[in-house]
Amino acid sequence: MKILLIEDDRDLSRLICLSLHQAGYDTDTCYTGNDGLFYAKNQVYDAIILDRMLPEIDGLTVLEALRRTDIKTPVILTTALGSLHDRVDGLDAGADDYLVKPFALEELMARIRAVTRRPGNLQTSSALSVWGLSLEPCERRLTLKDRSLRLSKKESALLEYFMKNPGQTLPRSMILSYVWGASSEVEEGNLDNYIYFLRRRLKSLNAPVKLTTVHGTGYRLEHREDEY
């Protein structure tokens, strides 16, 4: 089970992460509203723990943006603002639960178990299509016209990220976080290996796209306009 923690208090964030890991949860951590919104929109989570007072974008704005894009992941809103009005605002914005700071970590774990037991919470990645190339993330199947092949789990996650952001330069750090998880200690060379594998897959389909290296930054999925 995968949890996204969006909390700018780094000491509290470390404590929560430790409890989550001890409980068996895989956790991604962000410290700003912008980063949290980016992760929540581009990955699938079982639950989100969202601080209300965040730098760049506040928690309520993040929550409202997620609900407008039909992301139904259960959200536990955490805040030092504990008045009835504040709680109502959070629930009206789309929160599934509300926890006032300071709180016991045992209570947070119980709230997570409660919201993830509710039916229909888990998002499923729908099929993606870019420049005639289609990917079904659940089946890890890549299709072009009447030809298709099955990708490995990492290849599928990598291509899914690129197809969600066609034409955009994606930094290596964000790619690593998306595919391997923000807390993973994977070596950057693994990313280069999987880019190589994925390029071979695309070439085998004669796909109308290419993965371009942006030196010093990352990679970009582009249309091969010279050939199509």
Tell me the C-alpha to C-alpha distance, in Å, between residue 63 and each of 70, 73, 198.
11, 10, 34
pLDDT digits (tens, 9 = 90+) for 48-84: 999 999 999 999 999 999 888 878 888 999 988 766 6
Q: Which pLDDT does position 180 carry in this prediction?
A: 77
pLDDT: which is higher, 29 or 124: 29
Q: CB count, 10 Å around CB of 200?
A: 10
pLDDT: which is higher, 174 or 223: 223
Average pLDDT over residues 123-150: 84
pLDDT digits (tens, 9 = 90+) for 136-148: 988 889 999 889 9
Q: Which pLDDT does position 119 carry in this prediction?
A: 52
Length of the chain: 228
Q: Which pLDDT does position 121 carry in this prediction?
A: 45
- Which domains, and CATH codes, for the chain? 2-117 (3.40.50.2300), 128-223 (1.10.10.10)
Average pLDDT over residues 148-171: 89
Angle at 117 between CA 115 and CA 123, to 5 degrees: 80
Q: Which pLDDT does position 154 carry in this prediction?
A: 86
pLDDT digits (tens, 9 = 90+) for 77-121: 998 876 667 777 777 788 888 888 888 888 899 888 888 775 544
For CA atoms 36, 41, 45, 50, the dihedral sign is positive
Residue 127 has pLDDT above 60, yes or no: yes
Counting residues of the chain whose pLDDT is more than 70, the rounded percentage is 90
